[in-house]
Structure 1
């Protein structure tokens, strides 16, 4: 397909596509003349991923480029490729190492992983941005006096484990390893607002049952 058709099918303006090409977010098309290129379904799929990262995930172009580089790194096995790509996504604040609550939170998080039976080497986990985000969140709860021991956190972790199965089942519906990595990244970005919305709606429903009319 030519650039105009790629724009029409993707819903992305030609000017924006050219910008993505210049910024190396989108691979170059297949050159057919000195001034024209052809694009394929892979370019269309990549555009959807770029839109998920930048427009929905509000990701800076530099960060999006880092994520896409991980997606394209076929020197890695599938597990490493998925891990590197998702790890490159934006995460929450880093733990405040000056706070006494952080040391408590790190022990709580490590014990939580152990009780879940998740096979994390603690040294590796401690370098993970997702683990750091968990530590920072638990530290904030601890600092403000809210319940955040392992027993209270365990049901959340168990539900997260079930969601991970659903996530990867969905990812495996895509045909090729490259498509699966792209899908894992896009769906991580796109489904997090879905999960947040569903949690709030479910809490409203449960609150109504407990404290309202229940209707």
Structure 2
């Protein structure tokens, strides 16, 4: 059975297993913004895009949606190890691997708005493009907010030593042709002001980031 009408053939890998050192070890995906956990925001974004299956990489957590959980072995191997573990879990769960794989970190308060930009762009890119990623305020691709052709991502994963443990993300994407989708909410001024939390690429790393995301959400609700 193919994807729903108007949607791309898609699976999702949600990265939810980091140490969150700058949040004093708090479980980052379960922190709330706008009344929802960051995990639920990511699950909602993946579900809204028609992703099936949705693989969560990290300790099992409560989620508002159907998530299959797995974890890199050993834990805390970094985001690349998480992608590798998630991809293997995804391919084991399906009869036919979806054409695209969404890789999404569970620390983006505006994932619901970011993912539709990617899924709208993916059908428009050429066959020689391997990935579509969100750009930050400087135009740099955010690879953990990206859509990857599953065949190309799988080939990169097979080349990763030690199942990607402690690898830099750039090592995973080094040979991929990437199209960057601009963030319409991350103008130069926003990147340098308190409004930076309005950017779709804004991620939560610290308590200050979390408070900024909550304030941005409150401001958006008042508009």
- Normalising by the smaller structure, the TM-score range is under 0.3
Bigger share in strand: 2
Based on CA coordinates, which of the two structures has the bigger radius of gyration? Answer: 1
TM-score (norm 2): 0.22
TM-score (norm 1): 0.23
